[in-house]
């Protein structure tokens, strides 16, 4: 069983959606990430090099997603998962993207995707 590193409630604004009015103004999105990692070594060494630098991952998500213009939150979630899996220590990732206000009478629309590292 692997340990988990969380990035919770990362809030940002970007162009997202398929309708013409969604292509004009930035909207709020909320990103949650769960990275599955073996943290045994980091727990023993207390060394940042033995774990996932979640500050670096967060910065990369922000710099990639904020200027983006995706149509679907599914695609956005895939890009976030790819960023996380680029770190060799991350074996699995779950990414949830919430789009607040997308549906009348609902807090948000959302998707969650699960991706795993494919060993070659």
Would you say the pTM of this structure is higher than 0.85?
yes
- Among the listed residues 25, 59, 99, 107, the single catalytic one is 99
Q: Half-sphere exposure (CA, 13 Å, Cβ side) for 50? A: 10
Cα angle vertex 12, ends 8, 17, to 5°? Answer: 115
Let me know if 26 is a catalytic residue. no
Nearest to 15 by CA among 3, 27, 31, 33: 27
Question: Kind and range of the H or E element at 70?
Answer: strand 69-70
Residue 119 binned pLDDT confidence (cut-offs 50, 70, 90): low
> Parallel, antiparallel, or unpaired: how do β-strands 27-37 and 92-100 relate?
antiparallel
Q: What is the pLDDT of residues 70-104, one digit of tens each?
A: 999 999 999 999 999 999 999 999 999 999 988 88
**DSSP per-residue letters across 74-91:** HHHHHHHHHHHHTSTT--
Is domain 3-116 in CATH 3.30.1130.10, yes or no?
yes
Q: What radius of gyration do the chain's Cα atoms show?
A: 16
Q: What is the pLDDT of residues 19-31, one digit of tens each?
A: 999 999 999 999 9
Three-class SS state of 68: coil
**DSSP per-residue letters across 1-66:** --EEEEEEEEEEEEEE-SSGGGGTS-EEEEEEEEEEE--HHHHHH--GGGS--HHHHHHHHHHHHT
């Amino acid at each position: 069983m692997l340990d988990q590193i969380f990035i919770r409630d990362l809030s940002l604004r970007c162009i997202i959606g398929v309708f013409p009015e969604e292509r004009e103004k930035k909207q709020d999105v909320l990103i949650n990430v769960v990275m599955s990692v073996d943290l045994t070594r980091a727990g023993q060494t207390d060394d940042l090099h033995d774990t996932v630098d979640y500050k670096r991952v967060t910065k990369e998500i922000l710099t990639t997603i904020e200027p983006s213009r995706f149509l679907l939150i599914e695609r956005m979630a895939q890009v976030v998962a790819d960023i996380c899996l680029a770190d060799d220590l991350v074996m699995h990732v779950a990414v949830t993207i919430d789009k607040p206000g997308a549906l009348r009478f609902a807090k948000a629309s959302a998707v969650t995707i699960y991706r795993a590292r494919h060993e070659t």
